[in-house]
């Protein structure tokens, strides 16, 4: 009989790391792929690692010497090279993703095994119309909370995520991820109140608003549910959150992590 033991892995969500607990049978390791393409002119990034035993004191094993490229729906290729940090691959030069263009990750491990992701469309994201703050009225919360005001794109099927920063430090964990689908407010103005976090006068708050595809929204939502359930006596046992990466030669291999594309807009306010 094979027993499952929890392990920790980190998923790259635009340069932030948060631990996700999943169940992996003892003695079995899984490839972890972390990657995102944004519409920001930058050195895009992909990271490769493997799972490790939860009780291990060693750093998460990194995967080096891979050959990585990203291909877009117009046939353009963008190559990546491993940086001085093992397992971290940076694009060969700065580039930015293009709105309404789809991107796919392709790579070969040093062993020759080929992997690829699904195509992910880089969908447009609307501007943040306003970022306001008000004193929290929650009994167990003191300070100010912020609210984003924005207007949904006219087309249906828009999905959003928000990241919150206090004085340039990102707040929250994956269980605090703020997600929305436009199913109830398509094409209309809407607000999102971030009452999980509070601010004091003088704090600088920056909110990033990100576009998602439906599949990346579903992935973030599942991760949120899994990480939010951990630690409760009545919670469901955590399960593997399988992403959109597959081994071309072995479709049965379970690969963890996700590759997606996003456009980003942001707004900053000083709490007064």
Predicted local confidence at residue 237, as pLDDT: 39
Find out whether 46 and 117 touch, Cβ atoms under 8 Å.
no
Predicted local confidence at residue 16, as pLDDT: 45
Predicted local confidence at residue 175, as pLDDT: 73
Find out whether 24 and 3 touch, Cβ atoms under 8 Å.
no
Residues in the chain: 272
Element (H, E) at 35: strand 31-38
Predicted local confidence at residue 142, as pLDDT: 84
CA distance 100 to 213: 11
Q: Nearest-CA neighbor of 212 among 47, 45, 37, 89?
A: 37
Q: How far apart are the first and last CA of the chain?
A: 60
Point out the residues of the chain with pLDDT beneath 70: 1-27, 53-58, 139-140, 228-240
Q: 92: Cβ–Cβ under 8 A, 6 or more apart, which residues?
A: 78, 79, 80, 81
Q: Nearest-CA neighbor of 12 among 64, 57, 62, 52?
A: 62
Q: Nearest-CA neighbor of 137 among 185, 195, 95?
A: 195
Predicted local confidence at residue 139, as pLDDT: 62
Six token digits for residue 87? 């397992």
Predicted local confidence at residue 27, as pLDDT: 55
Six token digits for residue 248? 């071309």
CA distance 255 to 259: 11
Using the structure block, give the residue that is written with the tokens 């006596």: 233
Distances (CA, A) of 73 to 98, 156, 260: 11, 22, 14
Predicted local confidence at residue 59, as pLDDT: 73
Count of CB atoms situated within 10 Å of the CB of 249: 10
φ, ψ dihedrals at 75, nearest 5°: 90, 5
Q: 137: Cβ–Cβ under 8 A, 6 or more apart, which residues?
A: none
């Amino acid at each position: 009989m094979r027993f499952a033991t929890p392990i920790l892995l980190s998923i790259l969500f635009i340069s932030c790391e948060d631990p996700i607990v999943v169940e992996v049978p003892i003695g079995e390791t899984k490839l972890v792929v972390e990657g995102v393409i944004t519409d920001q002119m930058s050195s895009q990034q992909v990271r490769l690692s493997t799972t490790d035993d939860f009780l291990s004191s060693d750093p998460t094993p990194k995967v080096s010497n891979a050959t990585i490229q990203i291909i877009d729906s117009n046939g353009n290729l963008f190559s990546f090279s491993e940086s001085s940090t093992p397992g971290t691959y940076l694009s060969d030069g700065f580039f930015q993703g293009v709105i309404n263009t789809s991107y796919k990750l392709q790579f070969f491990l040093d062993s020759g095994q080929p992997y690829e992701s699904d195509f992910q469309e880089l969908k447009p994201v609307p501007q943040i119309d306003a970022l306001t703050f008000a004193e929290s009225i929650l009994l167990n919360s003191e300070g100010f909370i912020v609210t984003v005001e924005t207007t949904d794109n006219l087309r249906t099927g828009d999905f959003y995520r928000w990241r919150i920063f206090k004085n340039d430090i990102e707040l929250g964990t994956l269980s605090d991820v703020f997600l929305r689908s436009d199913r109830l407010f398509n094409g209309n103005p809407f607000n999102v109140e971030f009452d999980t976090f509070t601010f004091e006068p003088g704090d600088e708050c920056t909110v990033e608003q990100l576009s998602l595809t439906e599949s990346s929204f579903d992935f973030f939502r599942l991760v949120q549910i899994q990480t939010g359930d951990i630690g409760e006596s009545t919670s469901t046992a955590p399960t593997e959150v399988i992403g959109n990466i597959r081994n071309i030669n072995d479709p049965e291999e379970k690969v963890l992590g996700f590759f997606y594309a996003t456009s980003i807009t942001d707004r900053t306010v000083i709490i007064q």
